[in-house]
Amino acid sequence: MGKIKKEKEISRRSFVGKTMAATAGFTILPSFVVSGLGHKAPSDKLNIAGVGIGGMGFSNLKKMETENIVGLCDVDWKYADRVFKHFPKAQKFRDFRKMYDEIGKSIDAVVVATADHTHAIVAAHAITMGKHVYVQKPLTHTVYESRLLTKLAEKYKVATQMGNQGSSGEGVNLTTEWMANNEIGEVTRVEAFTDRPIWPQGLPRPDAMNVPETLDWNLFIGPAPMRPYNAIYTPWNWRGWWDFGTGALGDMACHILHPVFVGLDLGYPVKAQGSSTMLLSDSAPNAEMVTLTFPQRKPAKKMKMKLPQVEVTWYDGGLKPNKPDGWPDGKEMNNAGGGVIFHGTKDKLICGCYGKDPWLLSGRVPDAPKFRRRVKTSHEQDWIRACKESPENRVETASPFKEAGPFNEMVVMGVLAVRLQTLNKQLDWDGQNMTFTNINDKDEIKIIKKDNFSIHDGHPTFHKDWTDPVPAKDFAAGLIKHNYRDGWSLPEMPK
């Protein structure tokens, strides 16, 4: 164990030093672009590395087998074992920093499918090294991290893609084109929901357990505050724990709300309000409802519709919108994990998760002009195509960071609304400056750590264990931009 720890420390110091030097050298463009080596002939193969490969990372990499899979990195080698066997020629790593140190020069692109809280740090450093990145949804854990990846991708001119594969599907295309053609009129209200969570949520912090030999718990924790290991956290179930995931909203809204964001040309929300079942300090609640308000926007030239102020309301944990008048008897609202209702002044448009199977409540089938690019391959292969094109001639992917970054800010804003609900106010949001404008110096936040509910002689007794009150401004600032644990840091935000 001592030898492993020493190697990790050496790797971390080496990575930080090399990354700082590399970033200093990339004052305008990364070297691979300057030298003209940033694009390949379509027949040439990319050298791709995967970080976080045991779950969705494996699914993504299997759809990229047209290329060379040269590096595989995961903190849990038991969970990743089948992936190592599937790609026997790839080099194996536990620490992405060590992988970047040792084989970074030979890597063209990186797939990031770790837990949410490490998406940004893995992707950001890859971008500053001039690597193209494919990052699973949600793009990041925080608003600040989303803004950072958006600006880094623009600065270094790499090909990017968020793993919301529905953005490459026909449903999002049709939904967007129908609304742009004014088929349903002005939209002032949208309702969306998911049938998640299907993982543990609404739980207090569990007791400590022994860490399996195959798992590097320190590396899994990464930039988050250290906590004792418990088997409930990982693999996969990290989604329900605030330090690692974003709950049902963060996990599924990047799929379900994408046609809302692009179809209505949304930007930053100006107001946010959340409510839920019991809010605990460590894990997401069992069910949530969030409303985000977006101001009036100026329609693009291709739009025949007006874009007035719109309220977008999200439900999860079994909650759903009411079925509007005229809903077909017996028709299920849930389609592939959720659904969306666009309430227009002329009609209502409904689609499923990923924008699937759009239809109008009136029964009409629109014949609208098709202006969105159709992806003929797969979400992953479309990113590979973009990686091989030069920045000057690149056709953007279906979910590049210049769109996915602002969209993800919308998603994690919903998480903020839930986590700040005990302030008991509608929150005013300044998106440009990433701050709430109506949280004052006297506001405090305290959250339930444990319920301790019991029954005595037929009467309910409540003995909730609360966190100590903290200034709400400081708490909110820590949710917007995390304070990373010692030894973990992000590149600077480009100006």
Number of domains observed in the structure of the chain = 1
pTM over 0.75: yes
Q: Are 171 and 354 in contact (CB under 8 A)?
A: yes
Whether 123 maps to a domain, the answer reads yes
Q: What is the DSSP letter of 117?
A: G
pLDDT digits (tens, 9 = 90+) for 63-112: 999 999 999 999 999 999 999 999 999 999 999 999 999 999 999 999 99
Whether 363 maps to a domain, the answer reads no
Mean of the per-residue pLDDT values for the chain? Answer: 93
Max CA pair span of the chain:
78
- Token pair belonging to 5: 């720890």
| CA atoms 452, 453, 456, 459: torsion sign | positive
Whether 110 maps to a domain, the answer reads yes
**Run of H or E residues at 352:** strand 348-352
| Residue whose pair of structure tokens reads 């990373």 in the numeric block | 484
Single-letter code of the amino acid located at 439: I
| Residue whose pair of structure tokens reads 């931009």 in the numeric block | 481
Half-sphere exposure of 87 (CA within 13 A, CB side): 28
CATH code for the domain in which residue 105 is found: 3.40.50.720
Whether 94 maps to a domain, the answer reads yes
Q: Tell me the pLDDT of the chain (495 aa) as tens digits.
A: 443 444 444 445 555 444 444 433 333 333 344 333 456 888 899 999 999 999 999 999 999 999 999 999 999 999 999 999 999 999 999 999 999 999 999 999 999 999 999 999 999 999 999 999 999 999 999 999 999 999 999 999 999 999 999 999 999 999 999 999 999 999 999 999 999 999 999 999 999 999 999 999 999 999 999 999 999 999 999 999 999 999 999 999 999 999 999 999 999 999 999 999 999 999 999 999 999 999 999 999 999 999 999 999 999 999 999 999 999 999 999 999 999 999 999 999 999 999 999 999 999 999 999 999 999 999 999 999 999 999 999 999 999 999 999 999 999 999 999 999 999 999 999 999 999 999 999 999 999 999 988 998 898 988 899 999 999 999 999 999 999 999 999 999 999
| Size of the chain in residues | 495
- Name residue 436's beta-bridge partners: 429
Angstrom CA distances, 165 to 265, 373, 377, 387, 470, stand at 19, 15, 12, 17, 39
Whether 477 maps to a domain, the answer reads no
Which residues span the domain enclosing 71? 2-166+378-402
Whether 188 maps to a domain, the answer reads no
Whether 88 maps to a domain, the answer reads yes
Angstrom distance (rounded) from CA 416 to CA 419: 5
| Residue whose pair of structure tokens reads 């404008």 in the numeric block | 437
Whether 6 maps to a domain, the answer reads yes
